[in-house]
Chain A
Amino acid sequence: MTKAVPRPLDSRQTPNRGRGFATFDEPSKPLLVDDEGNPDFVAIQQSEEFTALRRRALLFIFPMTALFLAWYLTYVIASAYAHDFMSTRVLGVVNVGILLGLLQFVTTVALTLSYARYAKRRLDPQVSAVRELAGIVEE
């Protein structure tokens, strides 16, 4: 395990050039590390960059989790208690239940891809911005 190493003093004076949205045109920030160069987690947790990251992550994760669990349980409960509806033939002998089950596969794949895309475009850059606060420079 490597400790986060603070950048040399001179580079601390250079502003963070726009890696996170909160750092546009702001004066350079001191690194959020203690005397030994270890990250100051409480300060990072309260930083604008981190609260923005947390908000972005949770705003996606919690509603989507609630959504897919509700949709899955609806399907399960319908299968258990709404036999007639689920047994309605749609295409040949393929019934509503099979189609809804296949739709579960489709929504799972779609949600997986949309989370991967969201994380790549909206979360990863913000993670880099927070990591810069602790002096970790991405390659």
Chain B
Amino acid sequence: MRVDGPATGGNVAINISVFAVFVLITLYVVYRASTRNTTAADYYAAGSSFTGPQNGIALSGDFLSAASFLGISGGIAVHGYDGFLYSVGWVVAWLMGLMLIAERLRNTGRFTLGDVLSFRMRQRPVRAAAANATLVISLFYMVAQMAGAGALMALLLNVQGRVGQGIVIAVVGVVMVLYVLVGGMKGTTWVQIIKAVLLLLCVSFMTIFLLGKFGFSLSAIMETGSRNTPLGESVLDPGALYGGSELSKLDFVSLALSLVLGVTSLPHVLMRFYTVPNAREARRSVVWATMLMATFYLCTLVIGFGALALVGSETIAAAPGGENSAAPLLAFEVGGAVLLGIVAAVAFATILAVVAGLTLTASASFAHDVYANVIKRGTADPRSEVRVARLTAIAVGLLSIVGGIAASGQNVAFLVALALALAASANLPTIIFSLFWKRFNTSGTLWSIYGGLSSCLVLIIFSPAMSGAPSSIFPEVDFHWFPLGNPGIVSIPLSFVCGWLGTLFSRTKADPVKQAEMEVRSMTGIGSGLT
């Protein structure tokens, strides 16, 4: 590939073979890991058999999606400082998970978020609501990842045109459904671990190389970078992306709020805490994940400015895949075709693994909450529950293939930020109230889930992200009336208020006995059977 060329050219063979090797190895691992995969506990939670460090690596793998690896390094390369702001939010966010959520969730639930939210409430409506929220958030997140796969392939495999990208997206979908069907949570977790280790090695290598090249001076990298962009030195200052008007500044604060509150409310992240045997291991896994994420995002800062310094922002913007191509282009500059092939395969594997995790979460939520507890009222036989989960995984896979093809070409990091806003609005207030507020009751739960979810959805539909701006999904029509691209600053507080009002206006009081059970269990594990 020549950097100024339109595509990767002669490296397609290397890219495809590195990628095929990865898929074969992981499929083998998934197959080996799946020998005992018949019970619901095995399928949903890997029999809670992972250690804290293993789960911590898998957690960071879940979150190091294509959006964060390609999107953030690209964001830094094109927008400088404003791209860096994303990574700060995504690191700080883990403190929420560590102190407020991880241990209590592990002690209280078994397989899904619905287990926790419905613990002391009326089972059926709350489980249905929790499952609705999980499905909506997971689908949003999944479509974003699938759309990213198409864009990525344009660059890496020189697949041009909508038909070609559609085929790529379909292949991703089929492989990921295979992972989930064969491997369940155990297989999916091992894929995440392998992928996270490869990705971290990749970015560490590139970072050390860049630092070495510039005499271990971040300032030198940034200065060279700032000579390679039309923004000049202002690329190093805040405001390149969000500095325009008062509204865009407010939009930025809203985005930052969604980032910090959304990460540990994502259903597939929450579900990871069930793969460890007890609360102490859940805590250790967040500690590990935090350390890995901090390292990773420090590396992306260097990689982003490094791409600017060695490749230049105009080349990046002109490459197929736009911003997202910064890291692959830099890999080619640094390590030639082989490193590009590895980075490409890792980035693609990232999408595959994250989508597999999301599919598993969505199918668990449907089978465990909706099928077993709402439709069968808790009398479903566990084997049929797992069968329903597998069927749901296939259906979800198909839906996300269709959604991914429809949304291909959209801005990936932006779609992910919307999914985070949804998670922070629908899940976070409900989890916090449920764990820490004695009087919180069934109607409060329903109000805050549906209030957060629907207000967030409505604001997204009528935001400039959907219509009325050149960058929106429907640029030719204009039906927007909400001025911000990210609704978090409105919908998250609104969901807290809904939960509070719903609780106050309800005639049925919270059940003090169940509340005592939940509080004691969430803090000590008594009654959960965990050691």
Contacts and interface: CB of A to CB of B under 8 A. Distances in A.
A105 B91 contact: yes
Residue with the highest number of chain B CB atoms closer than 10 Å, among A50, A105, A109: A105
Given A83-B239, A108-B94, A101 B526 contact: no
B191 to A, nearest CB: 26
B287 to A, nearest CB: 5
Contacts of B242: 80
B519 A45 contact: yes
B516 A45 contact: yes
A112 B95 contact: yes
Given A1-B529, A81-B249, A105 B237 contact: no
Given A105-B88, A105-B298, A64 B524 contact: no
A72 B380 CA distance: 46
A68 to B, nearest CB: 5
Interface residues of B, number: 59
A2 to B, nearest CB: 5
Given A83-B239, A127-B523, A94 B517 contact: no
Nearest to A104: B88
B85 interface: yes
Residue with the highest number of chain A CB atoms closer than 10 Å, among B95, B100, B286, B291: B95
Residue with the highest number of chain B CB atoms closer than 10 Å, among A65, A79, A139: A79
A137 B280 CA distance: 16
Contact of A68 (B95, B233, B291): B95
Contacts of B238: 79-80, 83, 86-87, 97
A76 B520 contact: no
A47 to B, nearest CB: 9
Contacts of B528: 1
Interface string A91-110: 11111011001101100110
Interface stretch (B216-224, B318-326, B356-364, B497-505): B216-224
A1 B489 CA distance: 41
B110 to A, nearest CB: 8
A54 B222 CA distance: 48
A65 B286 CA distance: 16
Contacts of B95: 64-65, 68, 108, 111-112
B237 A87 contact: yes
A64 B92 CA distance: 12
A55 to B, nearest CB: 11
B526 A134 contact: yes
B291 A76 contact: no
Interface in A123-139: 124, 127, 130-131, 134, 136, 139
Interface string B247-268: 0011011001100100000000
B527 interface: yes
28 contacts: A41-B516, A41-B526, A41-B527, A45-B516, A45-B520, A53-B524, A72-B256, A73-B253, A79-B252, A80-B242, A80-B250, A81-B249, A86-B238, A87-B236, A92-B222, A94-B222, A95-B237, A98-B81, A101-B84, A101-B85, A105-B298, A108-B92, A108-B95, A108-B294, A116-B287, A124-B280, A127-B524, A130-B520
- Those 4 A-B pairs whose CB atoms lie nearest each other, nearest first: A92-B219, A87-B237, A1-B529, A41-B517
Given A45-B516, A68-B92, A97-B238, 8 more contacts: A42-B516, A53-B523, A57-B523, A72-B92, A76-B256, A92-B217, A92-B220, A105-B297
